[in-house]
Chains A and B, each alone.
Chain A
Amino acid sequence: MNKGVLNVISNSSIAERIFRLEVEGDLVGCMTQPGQFVHVKCGTGIDPLLRRPISICDVDIERRRLTMIYRAEGHGTHVLSQYVPGQPLDILGPLGEGFPVEGRKVGEHALLVGGGIGVPPLYYLGKELKKRGVRVTFVIGFGTASQVFLKRELAELGEVHVVTLDGTAGIKGLVTDVLTEEYGLKTSDWDVLYSCGPLPMLRALQDTYQAAGKEGYISLEQRMGCGIGACLACVCPVQEPGEGKKYRKICSDGPVFAFGEVQLV
């Protein structure tokens, strides 16, 4: 965990309200675990005041470059979307516990399921899994065709299934509609599931596949204060309290949790 000033290399729109931001600096050297996030100070003044948590999409350790993909949704991310190449950006990170990839074996098959702005961290995860000889299949869901991004990049790592709510790109429906025997992605075909996206999607995946006895990990999102575990703003209750643990902090115990670890409320 550290804090640094990184220089913006590029910052441009790649889909409806979606921006791809690349920054360069020494801090990138420690961003080795997929699924972690960075806490970004958007602007230099007091409005917005708090940092914004943004997932790590890709890291190039040798070139000291970090890629983030974010949605310009509120005030902070709108300010961020105005950054131009050469501008310094104050970043805290890498933060949190990411997706566990240690121990995955050559020849295993991992299913990576993302929804909307939950898709970016799956890219770095897919790269790390592929490096370990794990076969990766992506299922990514969006609202409509103009919101689809990263499809081409993910396709370089494995099979990609695109789903949109209105059917304007890929299959019409929800990501869970693709994860059916009729569609061809049989539960018995894959060994582990990693997911990031809207809460109802994560809940559906956990409910279905935890019951089926599958190993799986989900990445959560919550409004944060400090991002390092001190303010207790982003807590979630554990599924079965034990050993004194009744809640987990999304920023520092997560954002990634194993199936069944926390209640998805």
Chain B
Amino acid sequence: MTTSAKNRLAVNIAGIEMKNPVMPASGCFGFGREYAQFYDLNKLGAVAVKATTVEERQGNPTPRVAETPGGMLNAIGLQNPGLDDVMAYELPWLEKFDQLPVIVNVAGTVTDDYIKVAERVSEAPNVAGIELNISCPNVKCGGITFGTDPEIAGQLTAEIKKVSKVPVFVKLSPNVTDVVTIAKAVEAAGADGLSMINTLLGMRIDLKTRRPILANGTGGLSGPAIKPVAIRMIYEVSQQVSIPIIGMGGIQSADDVIEFFMAGASAVAVGTANFVDPLICPTIIDELEAKLDHYGVQTIGELTGAGWKR
């Protein structure tokens, strides 16, 4: 895939050429089948598909979602069909979109799980990158337990780098005191890029039953409500690392994309907004070029870190 020099929206993140900087976020887009009923997925800059684990996972009991002002709590629990099924059906299905780099979100319980999944999915012909999920707040083992300790996060990153044939992005959790330390640790361990942020741990209680609304008790908060947290964390981290950041957290407009770039992102992922409007990604992509004119810039890439570069 080559990117035209005239394409003002094109970005390159850790060697992945994207014709525009917008991808749907992992966990909010399945493997793309549902959204392909609404538009040609080739329109997207890339796609980050559902977290994949070695074995099939059934996820958490329902209710799995609860709403909050400007946000949504979810506790899906990494439900996915498992590595074999993803390799046999889901990734080959995505091959029909020949201009669509695929980023596979890799999850696990122990280090070996992550290694198995990362090694195999990175061999698939259309997989351009992997996103190491060390920040899912909705599973008891794995997920966030790897993402809150800089040393463990670094070790896992190094192990994955040994087996992955494609760039490795590490998805960071906002549920830590010092996200910069974790970011630096995974960069030092060889991460090619970062994804930030995953959801914020939250809870709601049903006033009638006096019990948490989510069957899992707690869940991950996403949506516009978390955007300022994401902007702040990307602003802090991008000044301290030299690897690219895929920014995410409440993006629902082209203006939001610009703001994430100014904070320090080099590409963005759109999550919860897909649920509100299944056409949100192509809509944002269509609006981006006019926004560049509006803010007087030539290419979107120029905006990375504009919020702190002097």
Q: State whether A230 and B62 are in contact (beta carbons under 8 Å apart), knowing that A3-B38, A49-B70, A49-B276 are contacts in the complex.
A: no
The answer to whether A236 and B35 touch across the interface, beta carbons within 8 angstroms, is no
Known: A231-B28, A232-B79, A235-B64. 6 other contacts (CB 8 A): A41-B277, A50-B276, A223-B62, A223-B64, A233-B65, A244-B85
A56-99 CB contact bits vs B (8 Å, 1 = yes)?
A: 00000000000000000001100000000000000010000000
* B223 CB–A CB distance under 8 Å: yes
The answer to whether B72 and A49 touch across the interface, beta carbons within 8 angstroms, is yes
* B217 CB–A CB distance under 8 Å: no
- Which residues from A are CB-within-8-Å of B272? 49, 225
* B295 CB–A CB distance under 8 Å: no
- Which residues from B are CB-within-8-Å of A1? 37-38
* Number of residues on chain B facing chain A (CB within 8 A): 37
- Which residues from B are CB-within-8-Å of A244? 85
Query: What separation, in Å, do the CA atoms of A234 and B215 have in the docked complex?
Result: 12
- Which residues from B are CB-within-8-Å of A47? 69-70
Query: What separation, in Å, do the CA atoms of A76 and B224 have in the docked complex?
Result: 17
* B63 CB–A CB distance under 8 Å: yes
* A131 CB–B CB distance under 8 Å: no
Q: Which residue of B is nearest A1, CB measured?
A: B37
* A164 CB–B CB distance under 8 Å: no
Q: Which residue of B is nearest A92, CB measured?
A: B278
The answer to whether A236 and B62 touch across the interface, beta carbons within 8 angstroms, is yes
* B58 CB–A CB distance under 8 Å: yes
The answer to whether B64 and A233 touch across the interface, beta carbons within 8 angstroms, is yes
Distance in Å: Cβ of A232 to nearest Cβ of chain B: 5
Q: Which residue of A is nearest B85, CB measured?
A: A244
- Which residues from B are CB-within-8-Å of A232? 30, 59, 64, 76, 79
The answer to whether A228 and B70 touch across the interface, beta carbons within 8 angstroms, is no
A contact residues vs B (CB 8 Å cutoff): 1, 3, 41, 46-51, 75-76, 92, 222-237, 244, 246-247, 252, 265
Q: What are some 20 contacts across the A-B interface (CB < 8 A)?
A: A3-B278, A41-B277, A46-B69, A46-B70, A49-B69, A49-B272, A50-B275, A222-B62, A224-B65, A228-B278, A230-B28, A230-B34, A230-B274, A231-B27, A231-B65, A231-B74, A233-B62, A233-B63, A233-B65, A234-B62
Partner of B72, one of A76, A225, A228: A225
The majority secondary structure among interface residues of chain B is loop
The answer to whether A235 and B59 touch across the interface, beta carbons within 8 angstroms, is yes
- Which residues from B are CB-within-8-Å of A41? 276-277
- Which residues from A are CB-within-8-Å of B278? 3, 92, 226, 228
- Which residues from A are CB-within-8-Å of B277? 3, 41
- Which residues from B are CB-within-8-Å of A225? 65, 72, 74, 272, 275
Partner of B34, one of A46, A75, A228, A235: A228
Q: Which of B114-173 contact A (CB under 8 A)?
A: none
B167-192 CB contact bits vs A (8 Å, 1 = yes)?
A: 00000000000000000000000000
The answer to whether B29 and A230 touch across the interface, beta carbons within 8 angstroms, is yes
Query: What separation, in Å, do the CA atoms of A82 and B157 have in the docked complex?
Result: 52
Distance in Å: Cβ of A89 to nearest Cβ of chain B: 14
The answer to whether A235 and B275 touch across the interface, beta carbons within 8 angstroms, is no
Q: Which residue of A is nearest B77, CB measured?
A: A232
Query: What separation, in Å, do the CA atoms of A3 and B66 have in the docked complex?
Result: 23
